[in-house]
Amino acid sequence: MKKVLALVVVALVFGSAIVIGSYSKTKISIPAGEINWNKLPSEATNLVCDASHSNVKFTVTHLGIAEVDGKFKVFDGKMSYAKEDMSDAQIEFSVDVASINTDSDMRDGHLKSDDFFNAEKFPKMTFKSSSMQLVSGKNYKLTGNLTIRDVTKPVTFDVTYGGTMPDGYGNTKSAFVASTKINRFDYNLKWNSLTEGISVVGSDVGIKCNIELKKI
């Protein structure tokens, strides 16, 4: 009888140990889908613009019937974020106004003058973000302050995240496409001429930036 009781006690103790051990393992092994990654500690990811694989373009209407494209050849930018969804991203970007190129030296000279950018007095256009909101999938709304000449106004870009990849040379690259539309008169790009009541240069300017960044 004593031996039977002893065996029962041993079985109970051993069985409890198995249950407790299994419970402990279950508590430690949390399925990845249940972790709130945004609350986990994380070091910031810092990136700088790779200008050789990026471009900053704009489009404006001519005579109300055609679209003329241009670009800026010199620009720079940086981005920093800690959250996996990049919703806490901080972005700064600058453009050298004198690098404007519309495939016409005469037109580029006019655009650099005080009728438009006044590149001598205001050599840089700048953007500094205030928020980056994930809308769906890889689509974001990027809001911040855009400064052209001596005017600073809030603007929102539609942003699509292209992805992140190694480039084969030991670097990690991320890509984004950002687009918006502004009214040039809001930024004192004031020149205006009419032909039969139609503006030679339209007031709305479409901006599209294809930006590749390198992790540092």
61 shares its domain with 167: yes
HSE on the CB side for 160, CA within 13 Å? 7
Place of tokens 């040379």: 169
Domain that holds residue 8: 2-34
Q: Quick check: 69 pLDDT over 70?
A: yes
**For the chain, first and last CA: distance in Å?**
74
22 shares its domain with 56: no
The pTM of the full predicted model, rounded to 2 decimals, is 0.78
Count of structural domains within the chain = 2
User: What is the per-residue pLDDT across 76-115, written as a single tens digit (0 to 9) for each?
Assistant: 999 999 999 999 999 999 999 999 999 999 999 999 999 9
The CATH number that applies at residue 127 is 2.40.128.110
22 shares its domain with 100: no
86 shares its domain with 116: yes
Q: Quick check: 208 pLDDT over 50?
A: yes
9 shares its domain with 48: no
Coil, strand or helix: which one is 98? Answer: helix
23 shares its domain with 51: no
User: What is the per-residue pLDDT across 26-56, written as a single tens digit (0 to 9) for each?
Assistant: 333 333 333 343 443 457 999 999 999 999 9
With cut-offs at 50, 70 and 90, classify the pLDDT of residue 194: confident
202 shares its domain with 147: yes
Q: Quick check: 154 pLDDT over 80?
A: yes
3-class SS letters over 141-195: EEEEEEEECCEEEEEEEEEEEEEEEECCCCCEEEEEEEEEEEEHHHHCCCCCCEE
User: What is the per-residue pLDDT across 113-136, written as a single tens digit (0 to 9) for each?
Assistant: 999 999 999 999 999 999 999 999
pLDDT the model gives residue 125? 98
Q: Report which of residues 34 and 181 the model is more confident about.
A: 181
54 shares its domain with 102: yes
